[in-house]
Amino acid sequence: MTPADLHYQVDVAHWGWSIAWFLWFVGIAGMGSVAYYFVRRAPLAYVIFGSLAIGLLLVVSHLGRWWNLPRVLWIMVINLDFNFNSWMLIGIMMLSVHLFMTLFIVIAHLPFLTNRFGWLGWTKALNASNLYLVLYAALGAGATVYSGFLITQAAGVPLWNTSLIPVLWVISGSVAAIAVLELLYVFGLVDARVSSFGVRLGMGLDVLKLLAVLGFLHVALSFGSAGARFGAELMTSGEYALMTWGGVIGIGILIPLAIGAYTIFVGKSKPLLLVSSVAALAGVFFLRAAVLLAGVWEPLVL
Amino acid sequence: MSTRLRRGQAPTRRMAHIWDASRCIACGACVMACTQANAPEMMFREEKGWKSLASNIRRIDSVSPHGRPELLLVQCQHCENAPCISTCPFGATYYDTDGRVRLDPARCAGCSYCVTSCPYNVRWLHPDNKLPKKCMGDGCIDLTDSGQHPACVQACPAMARDYGDLNDPSSSVSVTLRTKRSRRLLEATGSEPKFFVVEGSR
Ligand code: SF4
Ligand code: SF4
Ligand code: SF4
């Protein structure tokens, strides 16, 4: 039964597709930074940098009053008044630091810059430093967790008020990072050794992601408030059911799992890897979009 | 005149709204008066998300299980543990010394985080300036600063609305809450709302 007081957050607050893309890019960049610690390849650094830059641009363009941002920042700085209770503020600060840390790594991978401008040599030292890269990976994981807490903290949307979301975001962000590595391999940008990092781990993560998605829906349907339940119903049998079952689970989990199994038993095929990594990346996006779009307020009257 | 509450400072007054459901005749005058006082340019325009007149009072019509039409009016609850204040990244949403939750447009970048953070769904984005509007708007702040009641209280023909200080035991709202049955909405969220729905005599 539809409650008398049912409102979708996307209609009122307008957290829609652009925020879904933002969360997707943050997931790729965040867990991509963890992958970077292990593989340390230039193309991955470029992808992380691009994802962060696009993600931040998306979030700024989503601001209804973006033109007021310089004044807002100025007032905060001159008053030394920062609301560190807000995950949005913490997250934007983390992403900005992350962007700069990635920029240094990208520069270290560009010999025409480091050779021409000798003073940029320190970026190579940073890129060779385990400590720097551990910090970088930690910040990436933190940024992914942040993108989960960002919506968890939005008290108006009960479907989101669960700590399963950051967990889901980290697992699916890891799936996305591995899919990016596979894509880089398909396009000949990293070698097979780097890509072999992924197949079994990717399948394990796909299974984990499946369990986490089903767990998230089950918790909302069985133990959630009316608003959480209604949101979960939108995802399982309502307006966003196709996105959940077809996009998140079918395309995003089952196709990569089937191709992963084929790869293990029969052997690697680049066209199939291409399909599986694009499907995995699409699934990670559908997950964020479905969770966002299915967000409704707690009905005050049923 | 109320000012922005500094960190660690307690409000001098705790101003609260009362809506007496047992007296309300569902005329909608308060909803209109609110728009007229606080956003007159929206008088004939719809809040698209709510599909109703853009007002700081949201009207929820429903039918009881016995088939009787029912009404609930909601507006900003001026929560004492306001999620919208915790989440606003730029400190644009703040408490004033009267314990009201206010908005500083100079500090607002229009991220809508306060909108998704409000458990009561009482904030709406103004289509022209993209500010997250809610009770109390500038019109009602001016009215109350000059010692008058907010527009909704003044407009109500059934005396179903009131506004006053919870810290003052002799204020009309304190007396009503002592003598009548009332409830607060969504208390489980822990937001400590200061909007009371009066349901009748004790
Ligand atoms: S009712 Fe909503 S907008 Fe008003 S103070 Fe509470 S959380 Fe903020
Ligand atoms: S829309 Fe404005 S008031 Fe609301 S959270 Fe964003 S900056 Fe703060
Ligand atoms: S003006 Fe008074 S009687 Fe009319 S709807 Fe509002 S509260 Fe009810």
pLDDT per position as a tens digit, B74-112: 999 999 999 999 999 999 999 999 999 999 999 999 999
Which of these, B61, B111, B63, B148, lies nearest to A73 by C-alpha position?
Answer: B111
Is residue A4 one of the residues assigned to a domain? no
What is the pLDDT at residue A196?
61
User: Model pTM greater than 0.80?
Assistant: yes
Residue type, A293: L
Can you give the three-state secondary structure of B129-177, one letter per residue? CCCEECCCCHHHHHHHHCCCCCHHHHHCCCCCEEEEECCCCCCHHHHHH
Write the DSSP string, B53-82: E--SSEEEEEE-TTS-EEEEEE-----TT-
Contact predicate A262/A272, CB 8 Å: yes
Q: Looking at residue A66, which CATH number applies to its domain?
A: 1.20.1630.10
Is residue A59 one of the residues assigned to a domain? yes
What is the pLDDT at residue B201?
83
Task: Please give the residue of chain A at the shortest CA–CA distance from B185.
Answer: A300
Residue with structure tokens 């991509």? A32
What is the pLDDT at residue B166?
98
Q: ipTM > 0.85?
A: yes
Q: What's the pLDDT tens digit per position in B13-57?
A: 999 999 999 999 999 999 999 999 999 999 999 999 999 999 999
CATH architecture observed for domain B19-201: 2-Layer Sandwich (3.30)
If one counts every other C-beta atom within 10 angstroms of the C-beta of residue A100, the result is 10
Rounded-to-integer distance, Cα B50 and Cα B123, Å: 10
Rounded-to-integer distance, Cα B26 and Cα B9, Å: 39
Question: Which residues, other chains included, contact A112 with Cβ-Cβ below 8 Å and sequence gap of 6+?
Answer: none
Per CB-CB distance under 8 Å, the chain A contacts of B49 are 7-8, 11-13
In this structure, which long-range contacts are made by residues B39-46, counting pairs with CB atoms below 8 Å and at least 24 apart in sequence? B39/B126, B39/B133, B39/B137, B41/B128, B42/B126, B45/B127
What is the band of A1 on the pLDDT scale with cuts at 50, 70, 90? low
What percent of chain B has pLDDT above 90? 95
Rounded-to-integer distance, Cα A150 and Cα A267, Å: 41
What is the pLDDT at residue A197?
62
Residue with structure tokens 């929206």? B42
Is residue A129 one of the residues assigned to a domain? yes
What is the pLDDT at residue A191?
84
Rounded-to-integer distance, Cα B79 and Cα B196, Å: 11
> What residue numbers bound the domain in which A208 lies?
11-293
What is the band of B123 on the pLDDT scale with cuts at 50, 70, 90? very high
Task: Please give the residue of chain A at the shortest CA–CA distance from B94.
Answer: A83
Which of these, B101, B98, B102, lies nearest to B13 by C-alpha position?
Answer: B98
Task: Please give the structure tokens belonging to residue B116.
Answer: 């998704």
Rounded-to-integer distance, Cα A207 and Cα A214, Å: 11
What is the band of B185 on the pLDDT scale with cuts at 50, 70, 90? very high
Q: State which of B17, B22, B27, B71 you would mutate to test the pocket of ligand 3, scoring each by most atoms of that ligand within 8 A of its C-beta.
A: B27
B60 touches chain A (CB under 8 A): yes
Task: Please give the structure tokens belonging to residue A61.
Answer: 């363009």
Rounded-to-integer distance, Cα B93 and Cα B107, Å: 8
A156·B108 Cβ contact <8 A: no
Break chain B into its structural domains and give their ranges. 19-201
Distance (Å) from CA A113 to ligand 1 centroid: 52
CB of B93 within 6 A of ligand 2: the answer is yes
Distance (Å) from CA A133 to ligand 1 centroid: 42
Over range A261-285, report the average pLDDT: 93
Residue type, A55: G
CA neighbours closer than 13 Å in the CB half-sphere of residue A79: 15
Domains held by chain A: number: 1
pLDDT at A162 over 80: yes
CA distances from A259 to A251, A255, A265, A279, B108 (A): 11, 6, 10, 10, 48
What is the pLDDT at residue B125?
97
A:23-62 residues touching chain B, CB 8 A cutoff: 62
What is the pLDDT at residue A195?
65
Q: What's the pLDDT tens digit per position in B60-69?
A: 999 988 999 9
What is the band of B202 on the pLDDT scale with cuts at 50, 70, 90? confident
Q: What's the pLDDT tens digit per position in A196-239?
A: 666 788 899 999 999 999 999 999 999 999 999 999 999 999 99
Q: Helices A255-265 and A270-293 meet at what angle, rounded to 10?
A: 160
How close does chain A come to B117, measured CA to CA in Å? 4
